Every structure is written in C-alpha cells, then in structure tokens.
Amino acid sequence: MKRVAKGSFGYIEYNRKFAAIRTAVALAICLIIFFTGLIIYKSNKSAFSIIAAIGCLPTGLSAVNLIMYLRAHPCSKESYDVIEAHKNGLLIRYDLEMTSYEENYGIAAATVLDKNVVCFTEDKALDVINCEKHIKNQISQSGYSSYTVKVFKDINAFCSRLEQLEQIRKSKNIDPQAIEDAWVPGTVETCALVLLSVSL
C-alpha cells in the first residue's frame, strides 16, 4: 500500500486503510499474547495478561484514530477530476478534515493565493460560516489575519473562483509551489502549510 502524503488526493482513504490494518494487527497481537498465557498457565493471572492489557492502550488509540478517519469527508474522484481540470498553475490541497471543540469541517479541496483562501466542501451539512470563521481564526494565529476565506459547496462556483485566481497568479507571476518549496523548517509556516497543520 503506497503512502499518500498529507494534502494529496486519497490521503483520507489511505489512512482509513492503514488505521484499520494497524488496529487489527495490534488487537490480534494482544489476543495472541493473552491466549498464550491462558494456554501455558491455565489462568489469566500471569505476566502475559498484564502485557496484553498494556497492549490494549495503543490498540485503543489506533481504534480512535480509525474512527476519526472513518468520520472524515474525503474528496470524491469525480470532484477531483473536475478540480484538476481547472487548477492550472494553482496549488490544490485535498482531503483536509479540520477539527474543533464544536464540530469537524470536511474540506475536499483548498488553495491559497495572494491573501485568498478558497475551499470546496462536499459535506452538505457543513456550516459554511462557522467553517470560514474557524479557518480564519487558525491562520490568523500564524499572522495571516488579513486573508479572505471563502468556502464553496458548489463545485462550479469553486472552479470559477479558481479560474479568477489563476488570472491573478499569471498577472502577478506567482508560483505557489515555489513558495511552499522555499519554506524553511523552524520559520513561520506558509498559509497553505497552516491549513495542513490544522487538519487530520
């Protein structure tokens, strides 16, 4: 199973599969250890039972991680194909599931250009206003308080905005990928990296 980088299409699906396999393997190891002790000592009061019980902690954490990814909202292949046909020179991040104390925000795709954060969601139940406020709050903590945030539920409206941003990109000769590549670890993250950082 080939690893999918965070922000790439298929990231959520990959992590669902990975977390499921990891949880199943961890649970199987715990059960094998427990039943090995039961067979050898004819009792559950042995070191094997203690080791198995301790092994339940990472297994439980892995299960929680699996549930988080199962509840996330990945970008569909249909939307991905449409967006890719309209992105031109823009840098698009996919499968961004942002969490907060109140609710989760499933962002199928997002791009950042010239103080604009533009997102698309396929989650029909998503509260767009709250999502925009959440993103604005997250990026402002890294100094991007003057950025405009817009979340679209309609893919055609999102793609129209991408085309507008592409015109801005061309007129200002902006290379989004070069901006990301120029980031030096330890310095303030780019706005696009902040979006990745605050996502699952």
Taking only the tens place, the pLDDT of each residue in 47-90 is 888 998 999 999 999 999 999 999 999 999 999 999 999 999 99
Say yes or no: 99 and 51 in one domain: no
Q: Using an 8 Å Cβ cutoff, are 131 and 121 in contact?
A: yes
| Residue 116 β-bridge partners | 113, 148
Single out the residue in 71, 104, 122 at which a domain terminates: 71
Say yes or no: 98 and 147 in one domain: yes
Size of the chain, expressed as the number of residues it contains: 200
Give the model's confidence band at 7: pLDDT under 50 very low, under 70 low, under 90 confident, else very high: very high
Q: How many domains does the chain have?
A: 2
Dihedral pair phi/psi, residue 107, rounded to 5°: -105, 115
Say yes or no: 117 and 48 in one domain: no
Say yes or no: 20 and 49 in one domain: yes
Say yes or no: 40 and 107 in one domain: no
**Domain range spanning residue 15?**
11-71
- Domain for residue 20, yes or no? yes
Q: How far is CA 133 from the centre of its chain?
A: 18
- Domain for residue 154, yes or no? yes
Taking only the tens place, the pLDDT of each residue in 101-134 is 888 999 999 999 999 999 999 999 999 999 999 9
Query: DSSP class of residue 46?
Result: S
- Residues 98, 178: Cα–Cα separation, whole Å: 25
- Domain for residue 2, yes or no? no
Taking only the tens place, the pLDDT of each residue in 86-98 is 999 999 999 999 9
Angle at 61 between CA 59 and CA 63, to 5 degrees: 70
Say yes or no: 62 and 86 in one domain: no
Single out the residue in 36, 71, 106 at which a domain terminates: 71
Say yes or no: 66 and 98 in one domain: no
